[in-house]
Amino acid sequence: MTSLKVFDPFRASWSEVDIELPSSFSGKGLVATHPFVDLHVHVRLGGVEGYDTLERAAIKGGFGTLVIQPNTKPDMENERVYEMHKNASRGSAVEFLWTASLFGSLRPKKDIIAYSTDGIEYDIERLDGALREKAPFLLMDHSQIYEMGGHFYKGTSAPLATRSKCAESGAIYRTVLLGLARGWKKFHIQHLSTMEGVMAVADLKKVASVTAEVTPHHLLLTKSDLTGPNRKFNPPIGDEEDRKALVEAVRNGTIDALASDHAPHPPKPQDLEKASFGSACLEVAFSGYYTALGDLELVLTKMTAFPLRIIERSARVSMENLVVIDPDAEFVVDTKGFAGGGKNCALEGMRLKGKVLGLRLGGRWLYWDGEFLR
């Protein structure tokens, strides 16, 4: 038996527990907590990342629950597509939950926990029509004023830098205020990327139930780091002022959850204009957050208790379900060792602090010290 320090993110308390690890280990310096929860993940059925490889990426990254976004080709907008995903994920040790496209016929149910606009372009007419048509529920929003055109904010080092930064903050106000007028109560703003977006969320929290998330790459990188296609995102990385505002927003509670926006792709073309958007970072998400924020309790809480609170799920710390991390470990990100299908990680080559050592789900160790145990 090994004595481990266990952090309970639901009570913000520490304890010490004796537990049998898969291999001989001193346990010195190791920390265990509830498995991580990610509110923003993409799957590519028939492409680079099915549920089998996504499960392995999740396990290696310490995740027990993933929420799949609706732009799945075809979009998650009807019962047929939902059943296709449900069948493809059957038998997984990781819990998969889904979001329904705000613009389809699919409605929330036990494992469809929100409507989402992520990855789906819309204008105000389409948004208002969907808000009028559907019964209010939790709405996850990729907040962009697509009518402005372009894919990058002005000032970023990219050939498509045509959209103003206010496309994010303006869209946040538009979605929440229009939603309130149509009777909607709960809003979750996805992958905040600008100082102005942070200000909008902080302002709207005064009048509505608004939560927000941020990715590891938006906390670690700025537009000067846009050195290749794996750092092309939507929304794009901003300047140092934006990055600092996002870090402070996590610390002061304006940003409630840490979510990866895991977006796996085949190798991207070097032509930045032709490259797909997104980064596959599920396997190193914890390390990215801990490197950016340096506060272990904060990171663990915002990867577990807070995202579960947003989707109204209850949980508790159990010895049957644990992620074990080594906060002192350091490593250089090397995507050749990734277990998932996507190797397009924005953090490739970066030295990160803190590492997932093992994951236990349902009373079984699934991963330990670099080895899958199932």
The CATH number of the domain holding residue 258 is: 3.20.20.140
Structural domain contains residue 195: yes
Q: Which residue has the higher pLDDT, 162 or 335?
A: 335
Partners of 152 in the β-ladder: 161
Nearest to 68 by CA among 88, 60, 322: 88
Q: Is residue 156 over pLDDT 90?
A: no
Strand 161-163 and strand 186-189: the pairing is unpaired
Partners of 5 in the β-ladder: 16, 31
Q: What is the number of domains present in the chain?
A: 1
Average pLDDT for 17-29: 82
Of the segments 24-28, 130-134, 231-235, 267-271, which one has the largest average pLDDT value? 130-134
Q: How confident is the model at residue 163 (pLDDT cuts 50, 70, 90)?
A: confident
Q: How far is CA 287 from CA 258, 298, 364, in A?
A: 12, 13, 24
Return the amino acid letter for 278: G
Structural domain contains residue 361: no
Structural domain contains residue 18: no
User: Cis omega (within 30 of 0) on the bond before 74?
Assistant: yes
Direct distance between the N- and C-terminal alpha carbons of the chain, in angstroms, rounded to an integer: 22
- Structural domain that includes position 192: 36-315
pLDDT for position 146: 92
Chain centroid, CA 240 distance in Å: 21
Contacts of 218 (CB under 8 A, 6+ apart): 191, 192, 193, 233, 235, 237, 238, 242, 243, 246
Structural domain contains residue 10: no
Average pLDDT for 325-350: 96
Q: Is residue 67 over pLDDT 90?
A: yes
In our burial notation (b when 16+ CB lie closer than 10 A, e otherwise), range 137-176 reads: bbbbbbbbbbeeeebbbeebebeebebebbbbbbbbebbb
CA separation for the pair 323, 62 (Å, rounded):
6
Instruction: Scan for tokens 């509505």, then name that residue.
Output: 208
Give the helix ranges, DSSP H, for the chain.
51-61, 79-89, 124-133, 166-181, 195-204, 216-220, 240-252, 285-293, 296-302, 305-310
Average pLDDT for 300-322: 97
Q: What predicted TM-score, i.e. pTM, was given to this entire model?
A: 0.97
Structural domain contains residue 330: no
Nearest to 227 by CA among 237, 215, 214: 237
Q: How confident is the model at residue 167 (pLDDT cuts 50, 70, 90)?
A: very high
Catalytic residue IDs: 261
Structural domain contains residue 190: yes
